[in-house]
Structure formats: structure tokens, C-alpha cells
Amino acid sequence: MVPTATRTWVGLYARQHSLSRLLATVMVGVLGGVQTSECRAETTAFIGAKIIDGTGKAPIERGIMIVRDGRISAVGAVGDLAAPAGVKRVDVSDKIIIPGLINGHGHIGGTVGLQGGQYSRENVLRDLQLNARYGVTTVVSLGGDQAASVAVRDAENTPSLDRARLRVAGPVVVGKDPEEAMIRVDSSVQLGADFIKIKVDGAAGSRQRMSKEVFKAVIGYANARGVPVAAHLYYLDDARELVAAGVDYIAHSIRDRVVDDAFIAQARKAGVYYCPTLMRDVSTYIYESEPDFFADPLFLAEMGPGILDELRDPDRQSRIRTNLQAQENKDALRVALINLKKLADAGVPIVMGTDGGPPGRFQGYFEHLEMEMMVERAGLSPMQVIVAATGGAASSLKLTEVGTLESGKWADFLVLAKDPLADIAYTRSFESVWIAGNEVPRN
């Protein structure tokens, strides 16, 4: 057993001297040579919080969660479950614990400030640290991902992790005919993509529509190779065709029309999952004037120099006010909100996602606004939205080791001061974020 004083010293030393972290690990290893199997030096009990576990079950009002070597080893009510003797105890009485948030549609590593096209390994890691500081502990990056992202993903299976986890789609698959598109699917699969991403609509004339022939070929080919397909879309008619072709994941809202019963039935039967990305649409017009969130300290905490000045520029604002597409997105968003409620009520699995990461879509922070919109404007319950951002997202996206606070999962969670079941905006009341049982460092 490592004496408490030594453990504390090693911990302080590691925190204060990042380069010394390896040394600290070695020291624990050396001292750990005398540990027995009963030793609980790596075990921590979080005691007294209300625990919302991400499955949708009623919360445990006063719970205990035991974390060992980065994973949850037990969760229960105080009284039913006790902290084993000798473990580290963290008093979280009067707090609320929820699973780490999953952004089911982001883009990682490509933006610096308000500038896109900046992809690098360094920016991938910086973005994952940023997400983690906001409580987003897993990001599914749907497009723009290169080999560095795959390597970063593959390095995350460790109890020392303290940045967000990553899943990737690789480059968006395009092709003028099935053969060309299938070659691109092959190269994404070889890269190590978790998803294949396609865009089917023509983005109001700004890109080539993907023909039905091509997307059917892509979906069939990717599914045969065991890789799910996520689709960017806009129109209900495209959604019908995509679901009929076997698409796994609708990665944006249907925004041209309110969904009808035939589509709802089709979506349910197919088991397709749906990500509304409401904040993506908001981001297209919100900078026509100064958004309320410019006054939120949680937002401002991560703002780089000059970004707000650029967004406040009167010429920039006026260009957005007179941009037809941006203004039409306000109507599209109204349709999206109706469709989210209809699909969620019908039992179509909903995945929280923002399409965050590109310029002006502030990853980490926007996920909290997305959840608030899902409740306050679409009319979902706070519990529905928490599940869509945690356990429900994980089960749709096949993230088997995260998303819920259950035995065996990685200990990715938030400690909140206030209860998000009372007001979903309280997801922003997090006091600490934990990934694999490690507290995420602050700036």
C-alpha cells in the first residue's frame, strides 16, 4: 500500500510539473510493487450525489459511485452500497452527477479562431481538451478527419485519459458515380473511419447533389463492410430515400417540411437515429446582432482574442441580416423544432449534436445551448435530452464503453451544482468534469 502522504505528494508533484508526470507514474509503479490485490490506491468513491445515470431510469437520490482504474466498478444508493475500506472518498453531497456529454455531430481539429482549413494533430488535441473542459467527453467528428485523428482516437483507451474521446468519419465521401464513391468508401475504411459521412442535398445550389444511385451504392457498400453511414440532408423526400436505402444516421434535421406519419413509421421500422443539430442552423443567423450568450462567463472563459470583435463587426452583422439563406434558416429551424418533437415522441432515437467546430459554432459550449433548445423550444423533457446526450447517444452510435454510469463503463462524468432535471440549463452548472476517473484540468 502506498502511504497516503506519498500518494498526495506524487499527486501534487504531477499536477505542478507536467513533465514530471511520467516520473510520478514510475514512482507509483515502484511503490506499488508492495501493493496487494486488496490495495485500493487507484479506487475512489464519490459519495452523496444525486446520480442521473444516462439510461433514463429514475435517478438515485443519494448515491455512491465507485471508480477503479478509470472505470466505474459499482453504483448504488448510500445505504445499499458502501465505499470499501481504505479507498479515497470524495464528498459530493448535494451535487448532481450525470454522464459526460456526447456530441453526436461535431468536427474536430479544423478551426482556429474564426478560420477554417486549419486541420492539424495539435488542433485535434486542443479541441478535445476544450470539449472536455465544457463537459463534452466524447465527440463524433463527421467529416474532415485525417490520419492524425485516427491515431488520437486509438490512443484513448487508457485510465490516464483526461481529454475528450473521439470517433471519426474521415473525409466526406463524394462521387459522381457509384464506382468513384465506393473507392472513397474503401479509403475511409482503410483510414479507420467509424462512420461514412455523405451529403445528399445541393446546399441551395452551392454543391452537386448526390444522386440516389450513388448514395444507394455507398450505403450498401459501407454497410456490407460493417461501417454505418451518416447523412447530411435537408429535405423530407431525401430522408425517405435515404432510410429506404438503409442509412443508419440522419445527422441533421429535416427542415423543408413537417414529417408525416408515413415517414415516422418508416424511420421507426428502420431503426434510424436522428441528430437535430439545431445550433448549426442558429449559427447561420445569430451573429446578425449580438447574441445573449456573449454575456455568459462560461462562454467567455474560452474565447480567444479578437473573436468577439470580429463577430461584432457592424458590416459583418449587416451582411448576415441581408443574406437570404441565413434569414430562411429561421423558418427552417422552426420546422426542425417541430420535427424533433414529433420524432422523439414517436420513439425515434434522438442523438444530441451541434455540428460544432466550424467557425462560429463554438464546440463544447454550444452543446449546452443545444440541450436547452431541445427542451425550451422543441418541448422535449430534460430527461429525454439528457438521455439523448448520454446513454441514448451511446447506444445509437455503438459507443459501448461510455454514455451511462454503470459498472464497467469508463468513468466519464460531470459533477453539477444544480439539477438539470429541474432546468436543463443547469448542465452548465458543472463544477468538475471527469474522464476515466481523472479530473479534467482547467485553463
d(C-alpha 163, C-alpha 152), whole Å: 11
Rounded to a whole number of angstroms, the minimum distance from the CB of residue 280 to Zn ion is 7
Which of 49/210 has CB closer to Zn ion?
A: 210
Identity of the residue, 103 or 404, whose beta carbon is nearer to Zn ion in the bound complex = 103
Can you state the percent helix, strand and coil of the chain, rounding each to 5? 40, 15, 40
Nearer to Zn ion, 288 or 355 (CB): 355
Closer to Zn ion by Cβ: residue 60 or 333? 333
Closer by beta carbon to Zn ion, 355 or else 412: 355
Q: With respect to Zn ion, which residue has the nearer C-beta, 144 or 437? A: 144
Q: What is the secondary structure of 277-313 as a DSSP string?
A: -HHHHHHHHGGGS--GGGG-HHHHTTPPTTHHHHHH-
CA distance linking residue 259 with residue 271, whole number of Å:
16
Of 139 and 389, which CB lies nearer to Zn ion in the complex structure?
A: 139
Minimal distance in Å, beta carbon 106 to Zn ion?
8
Q: Which is nearer to Zn ion, 106 or 437 (CB)?
A: 106
Cα distance between residue 25 and residue 32, in whole Å: 10
Q: Yes or no: say if 166 and 156 are a contact pair by the CB < 8 Å rule.
A: yes
Do 149 and 203 meet the contact criterion of CB atoms below 8 Å apart?
no
- Nearest distance, CB of residue 201 and Zn ion, angstroms: 13
Tell which phi-psi region holds residue 166, choosing left (phi > 0), alpha (psi between -120 and 50) or beta.
beta
Give yes or no for a contact between 65 and 405, defined as CB atoms under 8 angstroms apart: yes
Q: How far is the CB of 359 from Zn ion (least distance, A)?
A: 13
Quote the least distance from Cβ 160 to Zn ion, whole Å. Answer: 30
Task: Report the residue number whose CB is nearest to Zn ion.
Answer: 355
Which cell numbers in the block locate residue 136?
463534452
Cell, residue 143: 467529416
Return the H-helix or E-strand segment holding 130: helix 121-133
Provide, rounded to whole angstroms, the least separation between the CB of residue 397 and Zn ion.
15
Q: Is 238 in the site for Zn ion (CB under 5 A)?
A: no
Show contacts with Zn ion in window 155-184 (CB under 5 A): none
User: What is d(CA 57, CA 41) in angstroms, rounded to the nearest whole number?
Assistant: 31
d(CA 61, CA 48): 8
Q: How long, in residues, is the chain?
A: 443
Q: Are 279 and 355 in contact (CB under 8 A)?
A: yes
| CA Rg value for the chain | 22
- Closest CA relative to residue 352, chosen from 298, 391, 379: 391
Report the residue number, 353 or 403, with the smaller CB distance to Zn ion.
Answer: 353
User: Least Å distance between CB 65 and Zn ion?
Assistant: 34
- By CB under 5 A, the residues from 323 to 382 that bind Zn ion are 355
Name the minimum Å distance from CB 72 to Zn ion. Answer: 31
Nearest approach, Cβ of 356 to Zn ion (angstroms)? Answer: 9
Q: How many residues bind Zn ion (CB under 5 A)?
A: 1
Q: Restricting to residues 90-119, name those near Zn ion by CB under 5 A.
A: none
Q: What is the DSSP letter of 79?
A: T
Give residues in contact with Zn ion (CB under 5 A).
Answer: 355
